[in-house]
Amino acid sequence: MKPAISVILLTTLIGVAQGLFLAYYSAEVLSLLLILPNQVLVGSGCAGIISLVLLVGGLIASFFHLGHPERAWRAATMWRTSWLSREVIALPITMGLIFIYSVLKLTGDHQIMFNLGNGNQVELATVVGFFAMIAVFVLFICTAMIYTCLKFLQEWHSPLTVLNFILMGCASGFVLASALSAYHDPQVFGYISGTAMVLSVAALASRYASLARNRNLRSPSTLQTAIGIHHPNIRQIAQGAMGGSFNTRAFIHTYGPAVVQLARRFFLIAGFIIPVLLLVISNESPVVICTLAFLIQYTGLLAERWYFFIEAKHPQNLYYQMIS
């Protein structure tokens, strides 16, 4: 597949946004449950707003993928069958809930909803955050299933795709949250940066597993099944268009194997290994180092999503092997 820039930006940006929200919200809940030291997080509202900005950025990027963006609202209609439609519904719901959560946090609303047995009180913002957390996971699944559900794109048609989207989104969000917590809430920095490292390593393992799986894939489709002529030696002479067609423009990339291999190595190192190493040594000046780690990781994840498209071989390419 040819990488679609707008889709790469959409999936990576909303992944960071979702992970960032989960990082701060999980720290808040763990504090309430006294698993982390009991405290009030200063940066929750700020994290919510950054998350919201990233979600809006992803949404804007996605519009550039559409031929008719003014009709985008129609995409919510077929949620019974289409994962894309489900994502179109889940994204604004997530944005709305994170917006309400951020406003409640920033305005200092302390309306008590109920008491926990341990003496802590659960505020309205935490309840809204709970629903936002569910929406975040639903959005992760919808986004990943858009790719996973296409069964003949075998490189994508695996539960590993869903796992990768969740782990990479969470890892990058937690790394950004590390920088934010180092500035606003140093007391949870240890929890957030530690989880960020675990998530980054888990994402590396999961992504590596899918790379290993895809290396040995054999498509059941061949030129023989594509045109139904069962002879081992078939060559295409003409593809029916001299100047290329939508089929050659949208599905066939022109990057050489060296570039593709470079991208794979780059995303494995920049997307996972360097950020973890930077987090390990981040105690000196955590804000700067964690911000740097996030920027490097995000660049790596852009390369990862680019490679994700390059990796998938569409069976229609069998019909477009030679231009003449």
Interacting residue with another protein among 33, 34, 35, 78 (CB under 8 A): 78
Q: Hey, which residues between 197 and 226 contact another protein (CB under 8 A)?
A: 220-221, 223, 225-226
Question: Using an 8 Å Cβ cutoff, are 95 and 50 in contact?
Answer: no
Q: Tell me the closest approach of the beta carbon of residue 10 to another protein, in angstroms.
A: 11
DSSP string, 79-128: TTT-HHHHHHHHHHHHHHHHHHHHHHHHTT---EEEE-TTS-EEEHHHHH
Between 74 and 265, CB nearer to another protein: 74
Count of CB atoms situated within 10 Å of the CB of 233: 5
Least distance from another protein to the Cβ atom of residue 236, Å = 6
Spatial CA neighbour of 26 closest among 173, 186, 241:
173
Other beta carbons within 10 angstroms of residue 108's beta carbon come to 8
The residue from 11, 85, 181, 210 that contacts another protein (CB under 8 A) is: 85
9 interacts with another protein by CB under 8 A: no
Please report whether residue 114 would count as binding another protein according to CB under 8 A.
Answer: no
Apex CA 141: angle with CA 300 and CA 314, to 5°? 65
Binding string, residues 270-299; x marks residues near another protein by CB under 8 A = ------------------------------
Output the smallest distance, CB 89 to another protein, in A.
10
Minimum CB distance to another protein, residue 230 (Å):
9
Name which of 88 and 136 has its Cβ closer to another protein.
Answer: 88
Alpha-carbon distance 311 to 158, whole Å?
A: 14
Total residues contacting another protein by CB under 8 A comes to 57
Considering the rule CB under 8 A, would residue 150 count as an interface residue with another protein?
A: yes
d(CA 125, CA 247): 49
Please choose, from the candidates 243, 254, 267, 268, the residue with its C-alpha nearest in 3D space to the C-alpha of residue 310. 254
Residues numbered 226-245 forming contacts with another protein, rule: CB under 8 A = 226-229, 231, 233-245
d(CA 120, CA 40): 11
| Of the residues 66, 134, 217, 259, which one makes contact with another protein according to CB under 8 A | 66
In the complex, least distance from residue 189 CB atom to another protein, rounded to whole angstroms: 41
Measured in degrees and rounded to the nearest 5, phi and psi for residue 122 equal -95, 125
CA distance 169 to 202: 12
118 versus 254: smaller Cβ distance to another protein:
254
Is 107 a residue that touches another protein (CB under 8 A)? no
Q: Does 84 bind another protein (CB under 8 A)?
A: yes
What DSSP line would sit under 269-307, residue for residue? IIIIIHHHHHHHTTTSSHHHHHHHHHHHHHHHHHHHHHH
d(CA 176, CA 200) in angstroms, rounded, equals 12
Q: Which stretch binds another protein (CB under 8 A): 49-57, 157-165, 172-180, 314-322?
A: 314-322
Closest CB to another protein among residues 113, 250: 250
By CB under 8 A, tell whether 142 contacts another protein: no
DSSP lists the bridge partners of residue 114 as 122
Nearer to another protein, 155 or 185 (CB): 155
71 binds another protein (CB under 8 A): yes
**Residues binding another protein (CB under 8 A):** 1, 65-69, 71-72, 74-78, 81-85, 88, 146, 149-153, 220-221, 223, 225-229, 231, 233-247, 250-251, 314-317, 319-320
